[in-house]
Amino acid sequence: MGFSIFHNLHIKVSQNEVFDAVSQPKHLDNWWTLKSSGIPELHAEYNLNFTDDYNWFGIVSKVKRNESFHLKMTDADKDWNPTTFGFDLETKSDSTLVKFCHVNWQNDNHHFKHSSFCWAMLLNGLKNYLEKGIIIPFEDRN
């Protein structure tokens, strides 16, 4: 068994716009990473660079255009290595329901709890990026 992080939020843009924002490096760099690379295809490798000390890699473990995007971490922090995180999307009247999960944490430790908080802040940044065009400078992101 493991521990899991779940966050749901509504973003008032199309599923296509949310999918691109969570899977395209040019968008990831505007709300999450410092610089990233990868293509949203099954088994493709993503490089998620935050600093020289946090230069992580994952592979696409699930992808369905405009509906879901999940990455299984392959080379990251020891707490993140066994984990997979992802986004499942549904249209709801005037918005997209984003169902975020980060699963298979081995320990309910400080890093797990801090990551849950950081994801909540980052997902709020994603919402503001998509709805209002706000890009928080990388050094000011949690």
CA–CA gap between residue 110 and residue 116 (Å, rounded)? 10
- Structural domain including 78 reads 3-140
Tokens of 53: 């000390």
Which amino acid belongs to residue 117?
F
Number of domains in the chain: 1
Q: Are 59 and 41 in contact (CB under 8 A)?
A: no
The two most distant CA atoms of the chain are separated, in Å, by: 42
Predicted TM-score (pTM) of this structure: 0.95
Q: Are 67 and 59 in contact (CB under 8 A)?
A: no
CA–CA gap between residue 15 and residue 5 (Å, rounded)? 22
Question: For the domain that residue 76 is a member of, what is the CATH number?
Answer: 3.30.530.20
pLDDT in tens, the chain (142 residues): 689 999 999 999 999 999 999 999 999 999 999 999 999 999 999 999 999 999 999 999 999 999 999 999 999 999 999 999 999 999 999 999 999 999 999 999 999 999 999 999 999 999 999 999 999 999 988 6
